[in-house]
Amino acid sequence: MSNIIDGKAIAAEIRSEVEVSVSSLTRDTGIVPGLAVVLVGDNPASQVYVRNKQKSASDIGMNPMDIKFHQDVDIAIIEAKLDQLNEDESVHGILVQLPLPGHLDEKSIIRRINPMKDVDGLHPENVGLLLAGIPRFVPATPAGIQELLIRTNNNPSGQHVVVCGRSDIVGKPISALLLQKDKSANATVTICHTGTKDMGAITRQADILIAAVGIPELITSDMVSDGVVVIDVGINRKPDSSKKTGYKLVGDVEYIGVSEKASAITPVPGGVGPMTIAMLLYNTMKAAKLTSE
C-alpha cells in the first residue's frame, strides 16, 4: 500500500509562504500583486478553476481581476483587452484560462501577453528560457509537480522519470524542468505519447511516473512496477449516478490498482490540482517583485 501524497496540505504550506512574501512586498513598496484571469465561454470546469484561482489570490492579499468574454467573442476583442492589461501597472500577472473555444487561436493569444506578465509560463519567450536553463516563469502545474516530489523526499535527481503526455501545459515543460542540471531535477526523462508503440513497456521502467494524458484511468496496474512514485495530473469527469452531480473525478491513473504497487501516489482530487494554484500565486508574486526591482 502506498503513501498518499497530500497535495492539499503541501499547497497550503506554499500559499502561506507566498502570503508572507506578499505582505512584506506590500509593506515595503506599497505594491499589491494584481492577477488578471481571462475566461472565455462557459466551460463548467474552467469556471470552477478560475473561481478557485481568484479566491486563492484574494485570500493571500493579492488583487484578482476577473475578465470574462462570451463564447463567440472575436479574437480582436481579446487582443485589445490583453494590450490594455499589458500596459496596466496594477496588473502583474495575466492568465488566459485554457482551453479556449475552437475558433480562437490559443498560440497567437498567448503570444499577445507581455512575457514579463505571463505567469502561466506559456509564452514562447518563457518556454525558451526554461529550455535554456534560465527559467523566469515555470508553468504552474510542472512547478507544482517538482515541489511535490521534493517536499515528499522523492527528489527526481538520478531517477528515471517517465512522462505520459506531450502537452504544452504539462508534458513538454515538466520534461524540460526535470532534465535540467540542477539538484532538484537532474532526472533521466522519457516522454510517451500517442505515437508511442508499447507504452506499458516504457512506463514499467519508471522510478517516477507522471501521467498527463487527459484519458481517464489510462494507466493501469500492469503498466507500473513495484515502488514507483506516481504523479497523476488528470482531472476527468466520470459518470456516476450515485453522486449528486452525476459524475465523480478520476485521474489518468487507475488509482486503486496502481496504489497497490506504488510507494507514493497523488490522489485525484487533492493531489496536483491544488499545487497548480499555489504555484500560480508564487509566479504572480515573482512577477510583482520583478517590477519593483
Task: Cite the active site residues.
Answer: 53, 97, 120
- Interaction between residue 98 and ligand GUN (CB under 6 A): yes
Binding part of the chain for ligand GUN, among 78-86, 90-98, 188-196, 210-218 by CB under 6 A, reads 90-98
- Interaction between residue 97 and ligand GUN (CB under 6 A): yes
Q: Is the backbone of residue 84 left (phi > 0), alpha (psi -120 to 50) or beta?
A: alpha
Closest CA to 112 of 32, 58, 175, 36: 36
Binding part of the chain for ligand GUN, among 23-31, 62-70, 93-101, 263-271 by CB under 6 A, reads 93-101
Which is nearer to ligand GUN, 94 or 228 (by Cβ)? 94
- Smallest distance, ligand GUN to C-beta of residue 117, A: 13
Q: How far is CA 262 from the centre of its chain?
A: 23
Closest CA to 120 of 150, 90, 100: 100
Amino acid found at 265: I
Q: Is the backbone of residue 164 left (phi > 0), alpha (psi -120 to 50) or beta?
A: beta
Whose CB is nearest to ligand GUN?
A: 98
CB distance 102 to 83 below 8 Å:
no
- Interaction between residue 127 and ligand GUN (CB under 6 A): no
**β-strand 208-211 against 160-164: which pairing, if any?**
parallel
- Smallest distance, ligand GUN to C-beta of residue 50, A: 9
Which is nearer to ligand GUN, 95 or 210 (by Cβ)? 95
H-type helices in 31-162, by residue range?
Answer: 44-59, 75-87, 106-112, 124-131, 140-151
Which is nearer to ligand GUN, 159 or 276 (by Cβ)? 276
- Smallest distance, ligand GUN to C-beta of residue 282, A: 13
Of these, 149, 169, 213, 275, which contacts ligand GUN (CB under 6 A)? Answer: 169
**β-strand 264-265 against 229-232: which pairing, if any?**
parallel
Binding part of the chain for ligand GUN, among 19-27, 77-85, 95-103, 251-259 by CB under 6 A, reads 95-103
- Interaction between residue 140 and ligand GUN (CB under 6 A): yes
- Smallest distance, ligand GUN to C-beta of residue 153, A: 26
**DSSP labels for 271-286?**
SHHHHHHHHHHHHHHH
CB distance 10 to 157 below 8 Å:
no
Of these, 96, 116, 177, 202, which contacts ligand GUN (CB under 6 A)? Answer: 96
CB distance 123 to 113 below 8 Å:
yes
Of these, 95, 192, 230, 264, which contacts ligand GUN (CB under 6 A)? Answer: 95
Of these, 21, 159, 236, 276, which contacts ligand GUN (CB under 6 A)? Answer: 276
What is the distance between the alpha carbons of residues 44 and 54, in angstroms, rounded to a whole number? Answer: 16
For the purposes of burial, counting CB atoms within 10 Å of the CB of 293, is it exposed (0-12), middle (13-18) or buried (19 or more)? exposed
Determine the size of the site formed for ligand GUN (CB under 6 A).
Answer: 9
Which is nearer to ligand GUN, 95 or 138 (by Cβ)? 95
Of these, 56, 141, 175, 283, which contacts ligand GUN (CB under 6 A)? Answer: 141
What the block records as the C-alpha cell of 86 is 499589458
Contact positions vs ligand GUN (CB under 6 A) = 95-98, 120, 140-141, 169, 276
